[in-house]
Amino acid sequence: MAPVDHIYIPDDCWQIMLTHVSEGVPEEACGLLGGIIREDRYQAIEAIPTVNILHSTERYQVAPQEQLQAFVHFEAQSLELVAIYHSHPRGPEAPSPTDIAEAYYPETVYLIWSSQGVEWKCRGFLIQRGQVREIKVFRVTLA
């Protein structure tokens, strides 16, 4: 079986994340996406913005109580944690050394939203044992 190399994100989740990262500037914003992991792709279903308890422009940490509540909610909906998103308001467009060192969920996509004062971009990465592999991110409209 080929490795999973893409994630589908519905418009509503995309907009929730985009609004959250835009409003969080200058701090890094962060949140979680629940969905389904299939043999060939990740499918996001729901986005949950969370508080970055570090209130930092260069690092993030999801508020533990919010993370627990999101995990309980996802489990109740039969969803899995498919992605963790955070922003790099001043770049870079890829995981930082800190992001790589603190990537504790190897089967989860790490979405990085970046902006250098212009339009926001979203890129996806799998980070496993210190190795980074980019995956394709598709914004989709659900019927």
Structure token pair of residue 63? 């508020």
Is 28 assigned a catalytic role?
yes
Instruction: Report CA torsion sign: 24, 26, 31, 37.
Output: positive
Number of C-beta neighbours around residue 23 at 10 A = 10
Beta bridge partners of 143: none
Strands 30-37 vs 80-88: parallel, antiparallel or unpaired: antiparallel
Per-residue burial over 68-105, b = 16 or more CB atoms within 10 Å of its CB, e = otherwise: eebbeebeeeebbbbbbbbbbbeeeeebeeebbeebee
Write down the catalytic residue from 28, 39, 75, 93. Answer: 28
The catalytic residues are 28
